[in-house]
Amino acid sequence: MTGESGGIQQAADVLRAGGLVAFPTETVYGLGADAENPVAVSRTFQVKGRPPNHPLIVHIESAAHLDGWAEDVPETARVLAEHFWPGPLTLVLRRSSRVPLEATGGLETVAVRVPDHPVAQALLAAFGGGLTAPSANRFGSVSPTTAEHVRTELGDAVDLVLDGGPCQVGVESTIVDVSAEAPAILRPGGVTREDLEAVLGYPLGVPATSDVRVPGQHPSHYAPRARVILVEPENVIAEAEQAQQAGRQVGVLLPPTFADAEVKAHAVVNVPASPAAYARALYRLLRGFDESGCDLVVASLPPEDGMGLAIANRLRRAAGPRG
């Protein structure tokens, strides 16, 4: 299935009939359902194995549609939508009665975004309504950045997969809560904190993150099957070789300063030097370690500015304690 119009019309029909359609966005692939069909929305949770109280993002065609889905939209939200939509920004707002509680996990707020991908845009235009779409992966695992990832992970549980090629951003959208007094970043992602603050003119709160090797309050999420451990960049090679020596099958995300170093490990990958390229590649690299049979991945955190903030957030979550 490709993104041409025949596929799009068929996908819109599947959605109208209450089916599930996986589609590409600029961030990751989403598992789409008619946001106004509680039965279809509930099926998304079953397919993902996701607890029903985890709210979904409603994808809409443009900012002009926002008022149908949210109420009391503050000026801050309008400004951010104007600057960053279509794009990898999700806004949390007060829910309108059009949004079923199944989609919001029972919350009175709703997360909304306008994706910036021609296939997603064409699908939303053909469908004519809003689409709930979590990342099209099993709960807790690594988000898919190609149609092949979706097919491998969800198989027949999805009625149709639209193939729009590899995702350009590679990590999920930035979520900003604008439903309360002070806007706050709930999840760093494809729009950087610096870009948001430049538009708003004031600093934004970001969720607290734990230190290297102290994953503590971050239960594992965005995680490959292989265990992930985080160490300082200068310790990556020694840590990896020691674990390999001890019988583990070790995958290594080699920091840019150590690119092309000889490492005695199972699978060694140079981390792309540009943060945008690293974000684009991150989930594909983590999946690759699983495919090549690694049981441990040794990595370090990038500097936490620009896209580095989202990359570090996902690596910490991948390294969190397993449930």
Residue 55 interacting with ligand TXA (CB under 6 A): yes
Token readout for 161 is 């997969």
Options 26-34, 155-163, 276-284, 310-318: segment touching ligand TXA (CB under 6 A): 26-34
- C-beta of 175: minimal distance to ligand TXA in Å? 5
The residue within the footprint of ligand TXA, chosen from 35, 57, 267, 285 (CB under 6 A), is: 57
Residue 25 interacting with ligand TXA (CB under 6 A): yes
Options 73-81, 129-137, 157-165, 194-202: segment touching ligand TXA (CB under 6 A): 129-137
Residue 110 interacting with ligand TXA (CB under 6 A): yes
Residue 313 interacting with Mg ion (CB under 5 A): no
- C-beta of 143: minimal distance to ligand TXA in Å? 7
In angstroms, rounded to a whole number, what is the distance separating the alpha carbons of residues 283 and 314? 9
Question: Which positions from 156 through 175 interact with Mg ion, judged by CB under 5 A?
Answer: none
Contacts of 31 (CB under 8 A, 6+ apart): 20, 22, 44, 47, 48, 133, 134, 135, 136, 150, 154, 158
The residue within the footprint of ligand TXA, chosen from 35, 56, 99, 229 (CB under 6 A), is: 56
* DSSP 3-state of 245: helix
The residue among 95 and 317 lying less far from Mg ion, judged by its C-beta, is: 317
The item of Mg ion, ligand TXA, none sharing an interface with residue 183, based on CB under 5 to 8 Å by kind, is: none
Options 64-72, 103-111, 270-278, 313-321: segment touching ligand TXA (CB under 6 A): 103-111
Report the residue number whose CB is nearest to Mg ion. Answer: 135
Instruction: Answer yes or no: are the C-beta atoms of 8 and 128 closer than 8 Å.
Output: no
Question: Which positions from 116 through 145 interact with Mg ion, judged by CB under 5 A?
Answer: 135
Residue 27 interacting with Mg ion (CB under 5 A): no
The residue among 135 and 220 lying less far from Mg ion, judged by its C-beta, is: 135
Please tell me the number of Cα atoms within 13 Å of 252 on its side-chain side: 29
Residue 146 interacting with ligand TXA (CB under 6 A): no
In angstroms, rounded to a whole number, what is the distance separating the alpha carbons of residues 279 and 168? 9
The residue among 54 and 264 lying less far from ligand TXA, judged by its C-beta, is: 54
Which of these, 255, 257, 249, lies nearest to 231 by C-alpha position? 255
In angstroms, rounded to a whole number, what is the distance separating the alpha carbons of residues 240 and 265? 6
DSSP 82-149: HHH-SSSEEEEEEEPTTS-HHHHTT-SEEEEE----HHHHHHHHHH-S-EE--BSS-TTBPPPSSHHH
In angstroms, rounded to a whole number, what is the distance separating the alpha carbons of residues 309 and 300? 13
Residue 27 interacting with ligand TXA (CB under 6 A): yes
Instruction: Answer yes or no: are the C-beta atoms of 151 and 161 closer than 8 Å.
Output: yes
Question: Which positions from 181 through 240 interact with ligand TXA, judged by CB under 6 A?
Answer: 186-187
Go through 71-106 and write b for each residue having 16 or more CB atoms within 10 A of its CB, e for each that does not. bebbeebeebbeebbbbbbbbbbbbeebbbebbbee
The residue among 25 and 135 lying less far from Mg ion, judged by its C-beta, is: 135
Residue 264 interacting with ligand TXA (CB under 6 A): no
Could you list the residues that contact ligand TXA (CB under 6 A)?
25, 27-28, 30, 54-57, 88, 90, 92, 104, 107, 109-111, 115, 133-135, 172-173, 175, 186-187
